[in-house]
Structure 1
């Protein structure tokens, strides 16, 4: 084997249906919510000894053909700004267009529990109720890349749960919903993806190992030791992040702390991370460590049909996009 690429096709919303063309007797009105089949290409690899032989081009061409055969109207791929070869291949040779720049916000999992204010109450929603909540919070008319199989995703064995945080105390008599809330779901990628940090200096490795030893010997000091990230480790991915109300950011931080505390029970999990849009208000509320975060991701999209896309999709970035089916969750 000298080359590899992976592909899958999903049905997702596109943030609204096609609009009817106005006539002399009718006004332009939006049609019912439109779902579209979107392919995701990922994991393109070519052996170093067989590069510059057209293998990558042949793999992408065959993957796109496979996706077209299964009805995909668009294809997406994800890479990083530093991967010039990948960007040149997809945007130059194959005509993909950059359309999203999500940020991966991560933090390590410590041995100690993170605090959750006593004024915040966290509880878990069963999958059917979680699906109903997301359907109300993120209607397909206003949400891009909302998977049509969202209920199945929330009930999947790798979704560890959907959690809601609200402020403690009785609700006001005239309130049908809390004035502030936050919600997110946790995906366990430790069984499908392994990461590893390479190239660290020996002094850094030794320093982090010493902190772990100190933390084990004197846990009362609550040293924020970092797990051994120089060996293969897994991560928990947060998706469906939503918040509302004046206390929403604080409640979302409490949910992130809760997800961290859940991750402590899994020795294979060393990082908790979330993909968010840079202009998403939730981005400011998600705890992160700079060394465990990345703002180099680039998502590109291509219309696989020969006809022009009358809707003009890809559209400008939409804030109300809480369920981003990134390659990290698609695999």
Structure 2
């Protein structure tokens, strides 16, 4: 693992705009943002495959793809994701599909000569009662949140796989763990979307109907951290250029808002004029969930998009793209 090879790998990513880059999962919230970022920076040789064209759970298909295309850089943003209900209903899917995708992609990327791979996980890899803000070394120090442990175990395996290939082969595989993300191409489904897109949809529909009030679960007191997906994409490019370490890196905004502050902000951005009512008989969830992103800040990266600006951008996308 000579540092010299790491340096040249890093430099060549930013300087060679014709380098072949495979973004796995390019249609999702994260993958689409990474593609937008790379295209904006002038990368002209992106290798993209829809799920119909390449099923990443099929080992032989993935191997033949890598054997043919031989991408120099790989960003692994493909995953099976879902909320609490989906995780509880389909635990086998969440562990098996994610393990298959990442095992196939990581192994084939190494075997067919990719210079560098970045694996993206999620903040749910950390123990349920991790210290706040959550540092990278909290990994594997306690039990996981039971509702999404199948997904979390798969993501932890991905981090460990990248580390193992670095240790055994000296291969430049790194991992980034983003906090709660939002932005264009988010899931605005009425039942199984996350808190921010769910609020946006509910306020929008209430506004359209001229409703007098919107009822939100809980007290509004829990603290949450949000990062615009375009900031994550910026961090991905930064890490591909600047980081070649064994440990995974947290990617967060470092800023917390209460669910109440978030709801008020979404209400304002959407332009809903009615009342916001809190149903405190409903559960609040974890009181606080913040990532410690000091390591990434120390490397020289900080987010640029404020929550308000990010919400305005997301609502604009919602109006143009989500069937009303």
**The TM-score by the shorter chain falls in which range?**
under 0.3
Between structures 1 and 2, the one with greater helix share: 2
Q: Greater strand percent: which structure?
A: 1
What is the TM-score with the length of structure 1 in the denominator? 0.27
Greater relative contact order (CA < 8 Å, ≥ 6 in sequence): 1
Structure number with larger C-alpha Rg: 1
